[in-house]
Each structure stands twice: as C-alpha cells, then as structure tokens.
Amino acid sequence: MHVLADSGSAFAINGFAGLTGAQQLSFWFSFILFNGYVGLEAVCLAAFYFAARPRSGSPNPAAIWYFIAALWVVMSFITTVWAAPAEKAFLDDSGTSLAVGTKAIKEFMGLGFAGIAVMCLLIGALSTVQRKRRAAQTLVI
C-alpha cells in the first residue's frame, strides 16, 4: 500500500480498493441519498430564512413549518449514521450482494423522514400563499 502512495501520482490511490462491486454500489446509493438530504436541508433553511423575516410588521407563520421540515431532514441525516458504514448499507448480512437488510431499512426510514420534510415544506408554501391572498384582499377592501 505504501508503494502506491509513494508513486507520486494522485491517481495511484483508489478509495475503493478491496471493495466488491456490490459494496461500491451501496456506497454510491448512500452518497446520493446523503447529498440529496444536503440539498433538501439547504432548501428548508432558505425557506425558513425568507419566511421568518418580518414583512408588514409581522413574521410569516409558515416559517415554523419550514423549521419543522429542517428538523425532519436532520433526522434523515441521522438515519445515514444508523446505517453506517455506507459501503455495507444496502448489502445482505454476508456482505456479498445487494439486499434489503436492517441497515437498508434504516436508510428507507430516512427517506420517509425526508418525505415528511417535503410535506412540511408544501404545507408552509400553501400557508404562505394563503397569507398573501388574505393580504391582497385586505388591500382591495
């Protein structure tokens, strides 16, 4: 192993050395899920930031829905830790083939938590739309 590191080439070191094809696929599935959660968390926090700023003297009550969504995404992050290591998350107990085991079920729980977060985001968005309609109606009247 030291010979590869001493070769002076950054491409000589392979992070997947010793992993089977199934383990590499499991790693990539977990990697994609984790990065999806990162994007969803960014959306939740941006929505919370813009909704929580007071406009017309009062904050948007939908901001609490965006904050709740952010907490559910944090739970999704936690499920990736429950299923660690990533290269074994979607493997059977013997570690040789892709299967739905206890670690994969934990990853699917994280997807469920992310689904709840998306629902909270949608509820917050609908609440914002209703608030804007009420504000527009009070201006007309």
Tokens 């590869």 found at: 4
Residue 85, classified by CB atoms within 10 Å of its CB into exposed (0-12), middle (13-18) or buried (19+), is exposed
pLDDT at 22: 87
Distance from the first to the final alpha carbon of the chain: 77
Category of 3 on φ-ψ map: left (φ > 0), alpha (ψ -120 to 50) or beta: alpha
Q: State the pLDDT at residue 141.
A: 61
Q: How many Å separate Cα 42 from the centre of its chain?
A: 9
Task: Check residue 107 and give its pLDDT.
Answer: 92
Contact 128, 101 (CB under 8 A): no
Tell me the average pLDDT across 41-47. Answer: 97
The set of long-range contacts for 64-68, using a CB threshold of 8 Å and a minimum separation of 24, is: 64/124, 65/120, 65/121, 65/123, 65/124, 65/127, 66/120, 66/121, 66/124, 68/120
Instruction: Give tens-digit pLDDT for 59-114.
Output: 788 999 999 999 999 999 999 998 888 888 888 877 778 888 888 899 999 999 99
Q: What is the reported pTM?
A: 0.81
DSSP assigned state of 57: T
DSSP character at residue 88: G
pLDDT of residue 1: 47
pLDDT digits (tens, 9 = 90+) for 1-25: 455 555 666 666 677 777 888 888 8
pLDDT digits (tens, 9 = 90+) for 104-126: 899 999 999 999 999 999 999 99
Supply the pLDDT for residue 75: 96
**Strand ranges (E), the chain:** none
